[in-house]
Amino acid sequence: MSGNLKIRDFIDKFTINPKEDIEPYFERTKELDIDASKHDNCFNCNDKHNNMYLKSVSWTSVQYCWKCGSLNVIHHQDRMGGCYTDVIICYGEKN
C-alpha cells in the first residue's frame, strides 16, 4: 500500500464541521437553548436509546438519532464566561 496519508488527515476526514457538512444540505427544524450536559436523549424527539454522537469540530457535538432521522448540533458555550446553556440546532432532510 502506497501513499502519504497522515494520521491527522485520516482523523479529520471523519470529523463533522456543521457549517460545511450540515447547514448547506439539511433543513433546520428546531432550535433549543438548554444545558446539554444534563440531557442524554435526542434533542429532537426525546428518544433515549436510538441516538449516537459523531465526531465533530471543537466546541460542537453532533448527535444522530436514527429513530427520527435528525442531526442535532450542540454548540457548547463557555461556562467560565457565565453562560449555563448551550445552543442546540436540530436538522432534518430537506423536502
What is the reported pTM? 0.86
b/e per residue 58-93 (b: at least 16 CB within 10 A): eebbbbebeebebbbbbeebeeeeeeeebbbbbbee
- Reading the block at residue 5, the C-alpha cell is 496519508
Residue 10 lies in a domain: no
pLDDT digits (tens, 9 = 90+) for 15-50: 999 999 999 999 999 999 999 988 889 999 999 999
Query: Mind giving me the DSSP string for 44-85?
Result: TT--SSSEEEE-B-TTEEEEEETTTTEEEEEE---GGGT---
Predicted local distance difference test score (pLDDT) of residue 2? 57
How many domains does the structure of the chain reveal? 1
Task: State the residue range of the domain holding 35.
Answer: 26-93
